[in-house]
């Protein structure tokens, strides 16, 4: 197989490369067709996917890919609010350019999206058929990217995930570990609920999906719903840190950080379509987190 991974230096991009090279993930063995796969792993300094001409030139100069996995994105939610033009280029135009290049060359596209396409007003897990209505610039830019990618290439998987953490790069778990080691108390929002998700589990499911022809929209998060404060508490307890988690409301946080973008109150996803196609192998979030915390030597950045 010939595979292109964009956003290769991020949490998910790194995990995908590791799994393809080893043939395994924390969930289990990968499909055998990934053995001896040829991987082009690129980041922004290699290719700006929001540049249509540059994207076309890359595909023309690097042969035909079987699968393109797009992990490139502008994920700073507050930054998207203050700079929507940059967010739209990265999160909407970039996926569209990749999808067009894939369609022209016959490649499948796996595009990673977000739970933030939903408003968070309904306190039940969202399924793929539910209508999105993002409340932030980040969510709007990602929703636009979904539609543009699906329209440009019928061989597209859009996979929405949430609250992602991996061994390489910055994330909420590493932030809490650092704060827990240096502070007695940390304040965390307790009225925003969602699904903490291991990049290891997500990468496994993306690679499992990519060898099928079950195109369309998927949800892919670890199982179970919690608040950010619940997540922080589980991190402190799992790492044996004495730091106390002080719970606050979103309104309290907004008063302390008025520049912050609005987040969905309830953005939990249900992996309905995974379950009806390849099977839902995503672990309970506490189980995945325990595995992550038991491997501190793998954490980088």
Residues assigned a catalytic role: 138
Rounded to an integer, what distance in angstroms lies between the CA atom of residue 212 and that of residue 157? 10
Closest by CA position to 148, among listed 107, 117, 111, 119: 111
The answer for residues whose C-beta is within 8 angstroms of residue 14's C-beta and 6 or more apart is 8, 166, 167, 168, 169, 199
Closest by CA position to 283, among listed 166, 176, 200: 200
Rounded to an integer, what distance in angstroms lies between the CA atom of residue 169 and that of residue 293? 15
Cα–Cα–Cα angle for 155, 280, 276, nearest 5°? 60
Separation of CA 289 from chain center = 16
Answer for the pair 120, 265: CB distance below 8 angstroms, yes or no: yes
- Decide: helix, strand or coil at residue 29: strand
Rounded to an integer, what distance in angstroms lies between the CA atom of residue 42 and that of residue 46? 6
Answer for the pair 94, 145: CB distance below 8 angstroms, yes or no: yes
Tell how strand 226-227 and strand 193-194 pair up. antiparallel
Long-range Cβ contacts of 236-243 (<8 Å, 24+ apart):
236/176, 236/180, 238/289, 238/290, 238/293, 239/177, 239/180, 239/293, 241/177, 241/180, 241/181, 242/180, 242/184, 243/179, 243/180, 243/181, 243/183, 243/184, 243/185, 243/186
């Amino acid at each position: 197989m010939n595979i292109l991974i964009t956003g290769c230096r991020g949490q998910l991009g790194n995990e995908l490369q590791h799994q393809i090279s080893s043939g395994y993930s924390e969930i289990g063995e990968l499909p055998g067709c990934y053995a001896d796969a040829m991987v082009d792993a690129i980041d922004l300094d290699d290719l700006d996917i929001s540049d249509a001409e540059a994207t076309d030139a890359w595909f023309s100069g690097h042969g035909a890919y079987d699968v393109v996995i797009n992990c490139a994105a502008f994920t700073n939610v507050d930054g998207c609010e203050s700079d929507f033009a940059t967010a739209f280029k990265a999160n909407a135009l970039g996926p569209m350019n990749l999808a067009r290049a894939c369609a022209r060359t016959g490649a499948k596209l796996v595009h990673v999206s977000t739970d933030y396409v939903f408003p968070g007003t309904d306190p039940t897990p969202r399924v793929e058929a539910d209508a999105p209505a993002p409340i932030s610039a980040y969510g709007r830019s990602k929703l636009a990217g979904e539609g543009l990618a699906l329209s440009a290439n019928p061989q597209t998987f859009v996979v929405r995930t949430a609250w992602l953490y991996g061994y390489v790069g910055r994330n909420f778990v590493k932030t809490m570990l650092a704060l827990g080691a240096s502070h007695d108390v940390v304040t965390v929002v307790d009225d925003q609920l969602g699904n903490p998700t291991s990049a290891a589990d997500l990468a496994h499911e993306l690679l499992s999906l990519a060898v099928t022809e079950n195109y369309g929209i998927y949800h892919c998060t670890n199982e179970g719903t919690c608040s950010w404060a619940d997540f922080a508490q589980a991190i402190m307890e799992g790492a044996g840190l004495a730091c106390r988690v002080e719970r606050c409301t979103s309104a309290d946080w907004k008063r302390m950080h008025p520049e912050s973008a609005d987040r969905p109150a309830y953005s939990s996803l249900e992996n309905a379509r995974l379950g009806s196609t390849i099977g839902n192998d995503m672990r309970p979030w506490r189980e995945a987190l325990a595995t992550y915390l038991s491997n501190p030597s793998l954490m980088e950045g």
